[in-house]
Structure 1
Amino acid sequence: MRLIFAGSSEFAIPALEMLLKSTYHEIAMVISQPARPKGRKRRLEDTPLARYALESSLKLLKPEQINSKETIDMLGALNADLLITASYGAFIGKKMRELCKFGSINLHPSLLPKYRGASPIQSVLLANESITGNSIFMLEKHMDSGPILIQEELEIEGNENYSSLHDRLAIQAAELLKTLLSDFEKYTAKAQDHSLATYTQKIERDDLKLDLSLGAGELLPKIRAFSFEPGAYLLFREKPLKILEAELVQEDSVMPAGSITEIIKNQGFCIATGKHQLRIKTVQAAGKKIMPASAWLLGSRAEVGEILK
């Protein structure tokens, strides 16, 4: 098949890589979001998928408006069979959706109709789900609501964090796409049951702050959902400290929530919460690399009784 592939984040890379290696498909064009200012110096930076496409010498288009007449005319001239989207990050209009012979499909990392929207991977971890998966569906006007062509479950491993689950889902999505494209026309798209739909929201900065008045059991899913990126955090000496790995300690503490209750040599430290304690194992201080909590303790000289808030 002659394909147009649209994506932006790292989630899309395994699928594009699979297509690039295939002898059965031709990538006529890769589409990604334009470069945006990033970091403290606000330097323009391409999306991860755009960088991969350039490194792989693929034709790359980064339109400001994917639904513009100019873009549609340019892509229409390619006479592609199918438009594939994966974490592209913009609405695909009707003319673009109908541009190719077989229409347009999307790779979505949840078992639709559950967890539609921008943050399905984080949301299944926040909900403490044990099963998630991937869905590939026909694009239509409403978000993540099109009929499903193929779907597959994936078990969430114990204490799995966002980064690990993201990578496993990306690989699964690529394999699922490979299966679908091996005999595309045999698959019948089945309508979603919209009455079962649930929705996720874009993750905001305020969502990342840990509330230590909650119990340790409530805090752990949040730590996992945002680790390693963007990182749930607390304030220590008025500066943010990302908490990237922790475990439950059943014992309660008489010390106020947020207090460092114990420092364990070569392991980390414990903090009091609204119920039980958290043993902190991996952290990232502002401007620093991810490190074991024991290494952070050596540099910060944190002491029992100090407060994280």
Structure 2
Amino acid sequence: MKIIFAGTPEFAVPALAALIAAGHEIVLVLTQPDRPAGRGMKLKASPVKALAQQHGLAVYQPETLKTPESQAPVAAAEADVMIVAAYGLILPQAVLDMPRQGCLNIHASLLPRWRGAAPIQRAILAGDAETGVTIMEVVLALDAGAMLKKGVVPITEHDTAQSLHDALADMGGRLMVETLAELDTIQAQPQDEALVTYAEKLRKDEAPLDWHGNADDLARQVRAFNPFPVAQATFQGEAWRIWMAYAVPDVSGTPGKVLDTSNGLLVACAKGALRITEVQKPGGKRLSARDFLAGSQLKPGDRFAA
């Protein structure tokens, strides 16, 4: 099958790799333009571009696809289908109509739950028991297309946004290969609009932990914001980054008070307590709580800003 692949970040890489391994003809790879990165702010290729170049694939990096000139290479590819995975640019209707069998998207949620920019993180924050991948038709409305295939992944108390991202990226590649093999017979299912929820983009101002909250909620916040924007707790005027933590329900105390340092860093919440297991001070390294406490004067009775 002749495929145009549209994707940019690491999430899209396993899908492109799976399509290549399955023997499909990738006639064009769309990815966002190289962006400045690193201390030197040198232009850096997207992860998808890097993989495409390794396989000698044609790469196209338009700033927009809204003009006839920018759309011309897509039309010239004469693709059977376009596969979209976290591309990051709006696809006008003219572009959606170019592939003979339409455009399919890999979305990291069990639609219609969590349409939008941050479905993985919002699923963790909400306390969902599971998430997954939906292969869907691309339409102009946000993540509103009919669904072709789903895969489910449970969310455990050890999962972070990063671990789920990796699992869902791999699943997305497998599901897309399966979907293409069944494309002529598979029946698309419309989404139930009554069940739609939206996953808003993460904001840095969501990072601070509120010790007056429930420990379960704070633990999910820590895991959802790992690796970005990373949850924060303020101690003596410093914003510490909290990378991993677990809720301890049967403990009580003054919100923000350090209860114990013998097994991680146990901090009281309004309901339960949070056991912090990975932490990072400003300018320091990310450390296990045990290693961090070995070089710290922090002790029970100290308090984080609440």
TM-score by length of 2: 0.92
Provide the aligned C-alpha RMSD in A: 1.9
Supply the AA of the counterpart residue of 2:212: S
Of 253, 258, 267, which aligns to 1:260? Answer: 258
CA displacement at 1:202 relative to structure 2: 0.4
**1:24-75 residue CA offsets vs partner (Å, 9 max, x unmatched):** x111111111223345654433333233333443322221112332221112
3-state SS in 2 of match to 1:185:
coil
**For residue 287 of structure 2, what is the aligned residue in structure 1?**
291
**For residue 138 of structure 2, what is the aligned residue in structure 1?**
139
**For residue 4 of structure 2, what is the aligned residue in structure 1?**
4
* Bigger Cα displacement from structure 2, 140-149 vs 35-44: 35-44
Residue identity over aligned pairs, in percent, reads 34
3-state SS in 2 of match to 1:159:
coil
**1:66-123 residue CA offsets vs partner (Å, 9 max, x unmatched):** 2332221112111111111011112111011111111111110111111100011111
**For residue 183 of structure 2, what is the aligned residue in structure 1?**
184
CA displacement at 1:236 relative to structure 2: 2.8
Supply the AA of the counterpart residue of 1:295: D
Number of equivalent positions: 305
CA displacement at 1:156 relative to structure 2: 2.1
Residue 57 (structure 2) pairs with residue 58 (structure 1): yes
Supply the AA of the counterpart residue of 1:257: P
* Structure 1 residues 158 and 249: alpha-carbon distance in aligned structure 2, compared to 1, 3 A threshold: closer
**1:197-231 residue CA offsets vs partner (Å, 9 max, x unmatched):** 11110001011211111121221111121123331
**For residue 223 of structure 2, what is the aligned residue in structure 1?**
224
* Structure 1 residues 249 and 196: alpha-carbon distance in aligned structure 2, compared to 1, 3 A threshold: closer
**1:264-291 residue CA offsets vs partner (Å, 9 max, x unmatched):** 1xx4211121122211111233344432
CA displacement at 1:302 relative to structure 2: 2.6
Supply the AA of the counterpart residue of 1:63: P
1:139-288 alignment to 2 at 5 Å?
139-254=138-253, 256-264=254-262, 267-288=263-284
Distance in 2 (CA, whole Å) between partners of 1:64 and 1:35 is 10
**For residue 303 of structure 1, what is the aligned residue in structure 2?**
299
3-state SS in 1 of match to 2:56:
coil
Distance in 1 (CA, whole Å) between partners of 2:195 and 2:84 is 24
Distance in 2 (CA, whole Å) between partners of 1:93 and 1:226 is 32
- The answer as to whether partners of 2:157 and 2:246 remain within 8 angstroms in 1 is no
Distance in 1 (CA, whole Å) between partners of 2:36 and 2:295 is 32
Distance in 2 (CA, whole Å) between partners of 1:79 and 1:133 is 31
**For residue 117 of structure 2, what is the aligned residue in structure 1?**
118
CA displacement at 1:166 relative to structure 2: 1.2
3-state SS in 2 of match to 1:186:
coil
1:17-166 alignment to 2 at 5 Å?
17-23=17-23, 25-38=24-37, 42-166=41-165
3-state SS in 2 of match to 1:34:
coil
Could you tell me which runs of 5 or more consecutive residues in structure 2 were left unpaired when the two chains were aligned.
Answer: none
Distance in 1 (CA, whole Å) between partners of 2:250 and 2:145 is 48
Supply the AA of the counterpart residue of 1:22: A
3-state SS in 1 of match to 2:184:
helix
Supply the AA of the counterpart residue of 1:285: K
Distance in 2 (CA, whole Å) between partners of 1:143 and 1:250 is 38
Structure 1 runs of 4+ aligned residues shifted over 6 Å read: none
- The answer as to whether partners of 2:203 and 2:229 remain within 8 angstroms in 1 is no
Distance in 2 (CA, whole Å) between partners of 1:43 and 1:274 is 46
Could you tell me which runs of 5 or more consecutive residues in structure 1 were left unpaired when the two chains were aligned.
Answer: none
TM-score by length of 1: 0.91
**1:146-191 residue CA offsets vs partner (Å, 9 max, x unmatched):** 1112122222234322111111111111111011111321112222
Distance in 2 (CA, whole Å) between partners of 1:300 and 1:229 is 25
3-state SS in 2 of match to 1:184:
coil
